A and B are shown apart, each in its own frame.
Chain A
Amino acid sequence: METHRDDTASKIGMWLFLLTEMLLFGGLFIVYSIYRYKNQEAFHQAAHELDVVVGTVNTAILLISSATVAMSISAIQLKNKKFALFLLGTTIVLGLVFLVNKYFEWGIKIQHHIYPGSEVMAQRGQGDILFFGLYYFMTGLHALHIIIGLVFIAVVFARIWNDKISHDNFALHENAGLYWHLVDLIWIFLFPLFYLIT
């Protein structure tokens, strides 16, 4: 069967997929908003325990990485392969740095026995249990998306390297970018909801 390329179709497809992702997190935002409403004080206090500096740094990292992906698409359109590769490489590095930060952030919390099911948690209020439960679940799911996004971008990187993606055939690149921006978008909301509602 002859296959013809339909970039618009794959872009619509990607967008539809992003919509489902939005609803996936949308469900979590419902849970978050209800529990925050029911446990305002506890959420307020618990948020103090998260490190705003790490959060802010991670936000900045994601924003920059988002910009570099976006620019890499312009670069490929302008036939500047090297620059595109450089920008994508930067994105990947930044994404990894984000994950490393996350790893340490979680690590410290877990060292302090702040994780679901721990003794320390059991002694604290129910609001705290919910806050940290949501914290781990939502940032964890987000981190999973970062990992998927990184793999996706790595594939694009390789394909640009091999000239499979070029200025007239960059739908995949664009889609990877869209995915990465969505991950960023979600973080834009997670950040204030967990770190800033002090």
Chain B
Amino acid sequence: MENEKHHIVSYSTYLLILALLLVLTVVSVAVTQINLGTLTVTIALFIAGIKSALVLAIFMHLKFDNKMYAFMAIGVVLLIGIMIFITFLDYLYR
């Protein structure tokens, strides 16, 4: 059983991503300080989504590893999404 090849990610990539993440954090804080009504949550979650995608893809190596891992992670996120959706079918229409 062969072990997979390891991709070594350079320090600068990590630092770049870190910078990006920090910027996104600041952006999301800034954006939510202005009152945008219901949009606030959407934007905040959208940015959180991007941030988590970055963490998953680079820090957690999903981009470089066997695609199976990415498949599993996305699958689970979808699963939780569907569960929340179905639960909301109850609460939205009560």
- Name A residues whose Cβ lies closer than 8 Å to a Cβ of B: 6-8, 12, 15-16, 19, 22-23, 26, 29-30, 33-34, 37-38, 52, 56, 59-60, 63-64, 66-67, 69-71, 74, 77-78, 177-178, 181-182, 184-185, 188-189, 191-193, 196-198
Chain B interface size band reads: 35 or more
Partner of A56, one of B17, B18, B29: B29
Nearest-CB residue, chain B, relative to A66: B59
25 pairs, CB–CB < 8 Å, chain A vs chain B: A12-B69, A22-B77, A22-B80, A29-B80, A30-B80, A33-B84, A56-B29, A59-B25, A63-B18, A64-B18, A67-B21, A67-B59, A71-B14, A77-B8, A177-B59, A178-B60, A181-B59, A184-B55, A185-B55, A189-B45, A192-B41, A196-B28, A196-B29, A197-B32, A198-B40
Q: Are B9 and A74 in contact (CB under 8 A)?
A: yes
What is the CA–CA distance of A185 and B6 in the complex, to the nearest angstrom?
23
**B59 contacts which chain A residues (CB < 8 A)?**
66-67, 69-70, 177, 181, 184
A181-B60, A188-B55, A189-B48 are contacts. A29–B8 as well, Cβ < 8 Å? no
Instruction: List 11 additional contacts besides A6-B3, A192-B28; criterion CB under 8 Å.
Output: A15-B69, A16-B72, A30-B83, A33-B88, A56-B29, A66-B59, A74-B11, A181-B55, A181-B60, A185-B56, A193-B44
The SS class assigned to the B binding surface is: helix
What is the CA–CA distance of A37 and B52 in the complex, to the nearest angstrom?
23
What is the CA–CA distance of A192 and B27 in the complex, to the nearest angstrom?
12
| CB neighbors of A among B37-94 (8 A) | 40-41, 44-45, 47-48, 51-52, 55-56, 58-60, 69, 72-73, 76-77, 79-80, 83-84, 87-88, 91-92
Partner of A198, one of B8, B32, B72, B87: B32
What is the CA–CA distance of A25 and B52 in the complex, to the nearest angstrom?
15
Q: What's the least CB distance linking B71 to chain A, in Å?
A: 11
Nearest-CB residue, chain A, relative to B46: A192
What is the CA–CA distance of A6 and B1 in the complex, to the nearest angstrom?
8
**B69 contacts which chain A residues (CB < 8 A)?**
12, 15
What is the CA–CA distance of A37 and B1 in the complex, to the nearest angstrom?
50
Q: Are A7 and B3 in contact (CB under 8 A)?
A: yes
Q: Are A67 and B25 in contact (CB under 8 A)?
A: no
